[in-house]
Amino acid sequence: MSIDAKAIADLRSAVRGRVIAPEDADYDEARTIFYGGIDRRPGAIIRVADADDVRRVISVAQDSGVELAVRSGGHSFAGHSLSEGGIVLDLKDMRALDIDPEHRTAWAETGLTAGEYTTAAGEHGLATGFGDTGSVGIGGLTLGGGVGFLVRKFGLTIDDLLAAELVTADGRLLHTDAEKYPDLFWAIRGGGGNFGVATRFQFRMHRVDEFVGGLLILPATPAVVAGFMAEAGSAPDELSTIANVMPAPPMPMVPEELHGRLSVFAFLAFAGGVEDGERAIAPFRKLAPPLADLVRPMRYPEMYQPEEGGYHPTAVARTLLVDTIDEAVAQDIVARLEASDAPLRVAQLRVLGGAMSRVPPGATAFAHRTNRIMVNLAAFYEGPEDRAVREAWVVEFEAALRQGDAGVYVNFLGDEGAAQVRRAYPGGTWDRLAAVKRRYDPTNFFHVNQNIPPGK
Ligand SMILES: Cc1cc2nc3c(=O)[nH]c(=O)nc-3n(C[C@H](O)[C@H](O)[C@H](O)COP(=O)(O)OP(=O)(O)OC[C@H]3O[C@@H](n4cnc5c(N)ncnc54)[C@H](O)[C@@H]3O)c2cc1C
């Protein structure tokens, strides 16, 4: 159901924040999300100012029967931060960050991006691990789990989540932590936006004042890819890596004759002393003469690369979890990437383990604690016909790489249907989440997400 003029008027008088409707000059900008190709026209976008605004927006949406989408950083692959005709509750203006350096904790409003939080925390020599991209919202990233540059050293983002404030479907603002509403606290650590609108998170912070990291670009032969994975798997926990096997982009640090050649475009992140870091990174440099080597002692926030505004790629993607990428698997990866003529295609390989794997699978709703490698496959497309070709390619690629575990990471899912969402929650996790959903959102009011319907 679409929002009508009366509901928009009700919203304008009810909230402290801003109501942006189709007739407003910045409407098109306000409805733009990170991914291109998702062109929905919400009836109203509400830039909430505080938790009271969140309660009011929920109440108007409930009373008028209008669909509600929730947006923090707007990076959902599935476009879940936009509604066609409904209301978008946008947390972009809720970006307060209150750091307590003495106790190494922070209360962060959920409209903050990973980059904003990390830059501010870095001023104190502190960090909480998020993902690999500064513009991603801490809202969506945290609620799905959060796998990034510090995953092996400190675990997932949710492993540093100490408490959260959340407005539930009945309009209550709940403070949840290990003691208060522990079922809810378990569910929001991986269960996404199914249980309410998170307004603030409290995070543990870590001292990360010595750090070695950056980009290492190697030629992508099967031996290099397999060697990289072997080194990353046996490296100390301080080292987390994200290796993108993809055509070398036309960047100034890559010699022009290598542009477009398949490369391992790898981010290395060593959260520890400089000498130990150099030692841990040395084997990667020996895999092949690097095409570019930008790994150096740096401040941790520098890991976030500058981003171009106005960049809205159209891409199809698949995510999976595997245990080994040996030379035979690497051979297949390289061959499939070579065979595609998509303008950009990538196999992103993230070696897991370390602190993340020491948390028991049942401790949080993100339960994939024992898988050793996360793989994300993506191809950019141009137009609907090309989309079908690229989608067939990623689907086939995914099927070829599966190694018995059907699991997926919810934050890398697109609009792939209910069966895929189910795979994000293995074992008893799904039933437990459905029971929590029934307790806090029995009518499935929060359904514009990777949805977990209420259990019977
Ligand atoms: C370029 C890029 C790089 C990425 N890199 C990583 C990475 O390294 N590691 C990783 O773990 N993930 C990564 N992701 C995936 C990312 O974590 C998810 O896309 C995440 O959902 C984005 O959060 P957001 O707040 O930006 O998105 P949004 O689109 O605003 O939200 C995504 C979903 O979360 C819900 N949601 C958001 N905020 C709230 C809230 N406050 N309360 C309730 N529900 C909410 C939304 O309703 C929606 O369903 C990446 C994504 C992109 C596009």
Q: Please tell me what DSSP assigns to residue 92.
A: T
Strand partners, 246: 263
The structure tokens listed for 315 are 């891409």
Question: Which protein residue's CA is at the shortest distance from atom 3 of ligand 1?
Answer: 133
The pLDDT of residue 10 is 86
Residues 264-274 have a mean pLDDT of 97
Residues 181-198 have a mean pLDDT of 98
Residue 381: pLDDT band (50, 70, 90) is: very high
Residues 416-439 have a mean pLDDT of 97
Residues with CB under 6 A from ligand 1: 34, 70-77, 80-81, 91, 110, 131-133, 136-137, 139-141, 143-148, 192-193, 197-198, 411-412, 449
Among 45, 47, 67, 75, residue to substitute to test ligand 1 (most atoms within 8 Å of Cβ): 75
Among 70, 94, 364, residue to substitute to test ligand 1 (most atoms within 8 Å of Cβ): 70
> Ligand 1 centroid vs 78 CA: distance in angstroms?
10
Q: What pLDDT, in 10s, does the model give residues 90-99?
A: 999 999 999 9
Among 31, 72, 87, residue to substitute to test ligand 1 (most atoms within 8 Å of Cβ): 72
| Burial annotation 42-65 (CB, 10 A radius, 16+ → b, else e) | bbbbbbbebbbbbbbbbbbbeebe
Of 206, 145, 130, 139, nearest to 361 (Cα)? Answer: 145
For residue 1, pLDDT over 80 is answered with: no
Are 441 and 195 in contact by the 8 Å Cβ rule? The answer is yes
Residue owning tokens 């109440």? 59
The pLDDT of residue 76 is 96
SS3 214: strand
> Ligand 1 centroid vs 227 CA: distance in angstroms?
31
Contacts with 392 (C-beta within 8 Å, 6 or more apart), sequence order: none
Residue 258: pLDDT band (50, 70, 90) is: confident
Tell me how far apart the alpha carbons of residues 230 and 353 are, in angstroms, rounded to a whole number: 13
The pLDDT of residue 7 is 84
In DSSP notation, 114-140 reads HHHHHHHHHTTTEE----S-TTSBHHH
Of 401, 360, 394, nearest to 380 (Cα)? Answer: 394
Question: Which protein residue's CA is at the shortest distance from atom 37 of ligand 1?
Answer: 140
Q: What pLDDT, in 10s, does the model give residues 355-366?
A: 999 999 999 999
For residue 253, pLDDT over 90 is answered with: no
Q: What pLDDT, in 10s, does the model give residues 124-182?
A: 999 999 999 999 999 999 999 999 999 999 999 999 999 999 999 999 999 999 999 99
**Residue 253, class by beta-carbon neighbours within 10 Å (0-12 exposed, 13-18 middle, 19+ buried)?**
exposed
Bigger pLDDT: 299 vs 2: 299
The pLDDT of residue 252 is 83
CA atoms within 13 A on the CB side of 398: 24
The pLDDT of residue 195 is 98
Residues 14-20 have a mean pLDDT of 95
Q: For 404, left (φ over 0), alpha (ψ -120 to 50), or beta?
A: left
Among 81, 154, 374, residue to substitute to test ligand 1 (most atoms within 8 Å of Cβ): 81
For residue 307, pLDDT over 90 is answered with: no
Tell me how far apart the alpha carbons of residues 424 and 69 are, in angstroms, rounded to a whole number: 21
Cα 7 to Cα 14, 29, 62, 91, 446, distances in angstroms = 10, 22, 11, 20, 19
Residues 108-119 have a mean pLDDT of 98
Residue 3: pLDDT band (50, 70, 90) is: confident
Tell me how far apart the alpha carbons of residues 254 and 248 are, in angstroms, rounded to a whole number: 7
The pLDDT of residue 257 is 86
> Ligand 1 centroid vs 188 CA: distance in angstroms?
13
> Ligand 1 centroid vs 350 CA: distance in angstroms?
18
Other CB atoms within 10 A of residue 289 CB: 9
| Ligand 1 atom closest to the CA of 69, numbered from 1 | 47
Contacts with 176 (C-beta within 8 Å, 6 or more apart), sequence order: 163, 164, 165, 166, 182, 184, 185, 188
Percent of the chain topping pLDDT 90: 90
CA distance between the termini of the chain: 26
Among 48, 71, 150, 413, residue to substitute to test ligand 1 (most atoms within 8 Å of Cβ): 71
Question: Which protein residue's CA is at the shortest distance from atom 13 of ligand 1?
Answer: 131
Question: Which protein residue's CA is at the shortest distance from atom 1 of ligand 1?
Answer: 133
SS3 358: helix
The structure tokens listed for 354 are 């370390």
Question: If you average pLDDT over every residue of the chain, what do you get?
Answer: 96
> Ligand 1 centroid vs 189 CA: distance in angstroms?
13
